[in-house]
Amino acid sequence: MPKYFITIPNSVTLPTDGNKVALTSACELHRDDSGVPNALTVAAAGAYNMFVADAPGTGTATAPDVTAPILSAPTGAANGATGATTLGVTTDEGNGTLYWGIYPSASTPSAADIVAGTGATVSGSQAVSGTGAQVVADQTGLTASTGYKAHYVHDDAAANRSNVATSATFTTEAAAAYPWDDDFTSDTSANYTSGDGTMVYNGTDDQLEYTLGSAWTGFTTTAITVEDGVSYTVTIEAQMLLGDGGAENPVSSVMGEFIVGTTAGGSNILGSSTDRFLGDGAGAGAVMTLTQTIVASGTAMYITIRSRAGTAGKKFAVHSILVEPA
């Protein structure tokens, strides 16, 4: 259906019932089949109101929208080291376009900046089809250990621009160094904390050797930086060097394992190796590769390699430790 656009001088009293637009010589009527008036002209220079009618002289006059949307409750949160989540804002108008941008926390972008994405680390826009909470999808591309704020602007369908709504600062997690890899080709024993036994670096065989002081002791890595909730594959190459098949082991071979925890020293355990590295009952056992997938809890992970022994003095060696995202 074609629309009729009527321009009326500001000096004319606006109709209240919509059906009695008092056209004067200064009014112009335009028909447009696309719904968008082209090349509107007026009879005299000056400010005009525009009305849209369904048919000449009989349609309902529609007052123009001159009210800007109001934004409230802006949100945003870090998602790991490089992401943002829980992005969104609430608006009181259900039309137009929502613009958003994630900026370093010290930035104070203008509404125009946000709409254009100027200076934003990540930005975008989306249509608004209803009032209330507007959900913005999770984003990536942020820098680790950095504070950010999410900023929002809503232009309604009549190009009225809202206030700028800005979230609280959120800080991305520290970057993890992947893979965390130690193959003991040099003495890195300073990166490990010993239990009650003795820890010695063997440069000839490129391994870290541990002589037990008591059962289930070993050594623990320093904190390995990880991302909360992310899965990691932990791979250990280890070997029993001296075993006696003590009473604690029904298969007559001293055995060892690794465990992963959120604190040092084998506490708050997240998981442990399914397989064990085994002695042969007398001398050195085979070099075994143990692998386990661990879901990080918090931003630090500690790996403890330890062995059971009936008596003190048993010894094992670790050849390599590797941590990488699963």
Q: How far is the CB of 13 from Ca ion (least distance, A)?
A: 23
Under 8 Å between Cβ of 55 and 4: yes
Residue 40 or 70 having the CB closest to Ca ion: 70
User: Is the four-CA dihedral 92, 98, 103, 108 of positive or negative sign?
Assistant: negative
Q: In the bound complex, what is the minimum distance in angstroms from residue 158's beta carbon to Ca ion? A: 6
Regarding beta strands 255-263 and 217-221, do their DSSP bridges make them parallel or antiparallel, or are they unpaired?
unpaired
Q: How far apart are CA 152 and CA 164, in angstroms?
A: 6
Three-class DSSP category at 305:
strand
64 vs 283 by CB, closer to Ca ion: 64
Closest approach, Cβ 178 to Ca ion, in A, equals: 49
Please, what is the minimum distance in Å from the beta carbon of residue 114 to Ca ion?
A: 18
Identity of the residue, 49 or 85, whose beta carbon is nearer to Ca ion in the bound complex: 49
Residue 197 contacts residue 216 (beta carbons within 8 Å): no
The minimum distance between CB 16 and Ca ion, in angstroms, equals 20
Instruction: Give the interface with Ca ion as residue ranges (CB under 5 A).
Output: 65, 67, 156, 160
Q: Which two tokens stand for residue 35?
A: 């719904």
CB closer to Ca ion out of 97 and 105: 97
Residue 155 or 209: which CB sits closer to Ca ion? 155
Tell me the residue number closest to Ca ion, measured at CB: 156
CB of 132 to Ca ion, least distance (A): 15
Q: Over the Cα atoms of the chain, what is R_g? A: 35
Q: Please, what sign has the CA dihedral across residues 200, 202, 207, 213?
A: negative
For Ca ion, the closer of residues 67 and 143 by Cβ is 67
- For the bound state, the minimum distance from the C-beta of residue 130 to Ca ion, rounded and expressed in Å, comes to 14
Residue closer to Ca ion (CB basis): 28 or 65: 65
Residue entry with tokens 């529609």? 62
Among 180, 100, 92, smallest CA distance to 139 is for 100
Q: Between 56 and 130, whose beta carbon lies closer to Ca ion?
A: 130
Contact criterion met (CB below 8 Å) for 84 and 177: no
Give me the least distance between CB of 69 and Ca ion, in Å please: 6
User: Tokens in use for 305?
Assistant: 């390699």
Separation of alpha carbons 9 and 118, rounded Å:
39
Q: How far apart are CA 98 and CA 150, in angstroms?
A: 13
Residue type, 259: I
